[in-house]
Amino acid sequence: MVILSVDYGDVRTGVAVCDKSELLASPVAVITERRAERLAEKIAALAAQYRAERIALGLPKNMDGTEGFRAQACREFAALLERETGLPVVLRDERLTTVSAHNYLNATDTRGKKRKETVDAVSAVIILEDYLAYRKNAGRGSDA
């Protein structure tokens, strides 16, 4: 199943996609858009282009597992994405994905403007890889 992954941000949103066999997650884009409706339209276009069948959206939780304002905004955006794309949207805990993305970029010595332009897409890849691992361990029929 082709799954699109989204790391939703206030300014920049990272998008990644996996292949049909769910083995390889690849960065697709970083979208710079502040308006949620317009962002959902752009993501819907990418979902159609890649023939995605599901969207995994990162859910920012506090380190203690509680949800704050940002998590509520993501839940609202998930509902908007479902309406815009007609696809199921699953929420995935994204704690520390940005930290991991920065660590990956440190390892590849990616700095400056290039780093700023790619960190959100790398975060989307990490969210997607986590979701793919979950599906593999839980059985592919699982929709959470």
Within a domain: residue 56? Answer: yes
Q: What would the mean pLDDT of 122-129 be, rounded to a whole number?
A: 88
Within a domain: residue 51? Answer: yes
Lookup: tokens for 45: 């276009």
Within a domain: residue 144? Answer: no
Task: With a cut of 50, say whether residue 115 has pLDDT above it.
Answer: no
pLDDT tens for residues 28-61? 999 999 999 999 999 999 999 999 999 999 998 7
The CATH number of the domain where 83 resides is what?
Answer: 3.30.420.140
Can you give the pTM of this predicted structure?
0.82
The answer to whether residues 12 and 30 touch, using CB atoms and an 8 Å cutoff, is yes
Task: With a cut of 60, say whether residue 106 has pLDDT above it.
Answer: no
The answer to whether residues 60 and 71 touch, using CB atoms and an 8 Å cutoff, is yes
Of the candidate ranges 7-11, 100-104, 125-129, 136-140, the one whose mean pLDDT is the lowest: 100-104
Within a domain: residue 143? Answer: no
Total tally of structural domains belonging to the chain: 1
Within a domain: residue 123? Answer: yes
